[in-house]
Amino acid sequence: MFTATLIARPGALDSALAEALRNAWGGGDLVWLSPDEAAEFDMPSVPDTAESSWTALQDQGVDLAIQHSANRRKKMLLADMDSTMIQQECIDELAEVAGVGAHVKAITTRAMNGELDFEGALIERVALLKGLPESVIDDVLATRITLMPGGPVLLATMKAQGAHAALVSGGFTAFTSRVAATLGFDENRANTLLVENGTLTGDVSRPILGREAKVTALEEITARLGITEADVLAVGDGANDLGMLQRAGAGVALHAKPSVQAQAKLRINHGDLTALLFLQGYSRAEFVTPEAPALA
């Protein structure tokens, strides 16, 4: 059995559209997870028109996801940070302060789209930060970094159901530690910016955490917890996330680069991070809404 989930911005999912798709695909009862926002129905097989329907729905501002009905509620969240749990790329924000923002942003875009080797692109960009005072990290966190909408609710709801949450980033521990603490992640992994006498050296510690290190995190953490990769929901937006997205039971490309969407199991372009709860069959009534967190 398979489950089709339709997700749009609040108030933007037309009931007639959802019912028409259910009827066309011979689905079961249409279940509204959130009125005019998210609905799902079960069906015996994946229709041949699934991909063309996904494309047509995108033009109407609606995301469509099809999954096996069993084991949709996951025991672990494995999340990228930059442009996933936060709305920015931290290295781009540091580069803005250093006066090389446009140059670094262009490299970041190409690396996240899979056009450049991630490790080489990271080394090149970090070198341009040489000489910045370490204190700039706190300044950037305070003035330039904002949480992705829906993130606090996603973490609070999954953790209330006993899920483990790990933040794995090709960015920097100075940022992941703060973001993880703010949102309630159980652990975080990232690269470490090297500092001497309070100044960035323009280098990072080795080995560099990239695509394969994210897969390693998936393997190591699931083994430690005694769960399987099928029990994991992974989310990211860049080419360096593809390894974990393809291995996890539910791999979600969130507002991702086109090359990443083309290879991901699940794609969310219109909803925020709470869409990951709808994908697991949570209704909005089941969401846990914490007090609005601020980066500590």
- Indicate which residues carry an active-site annotation: 80, 82
Q: What are the angstrom distances between the C-alpha of 246 and each of 6, 50, 144, 206? A: 21, 19, 31, 25
Q: Which residue has the tokens 């992994």?
A: 189
Find the helix or strand (DSSP H, E) in which 156 lies: helix 151-160
Q: Which residues contact 166 (CB under 8 A, 6 or more apart)?
A: 76, 77, 78, 79, 185, 186, 187, 188, 189, 217, 221
Q: Which residue has the tokens 């794609």?
A: 267
Q: What are the angstrom distances between the C-alpha of 64 and each of 38, 70, 150? A: 10, 18, 18
Please state, in angstroms and rounded to a whole number, the distance separating the CA atoms of residues 30 and 37: 13
Tokens of 78: 């494995």
Q: What backbone torsions phi and psi does residue 187 show, to the nearest 5 degrees?
A: -160, 165
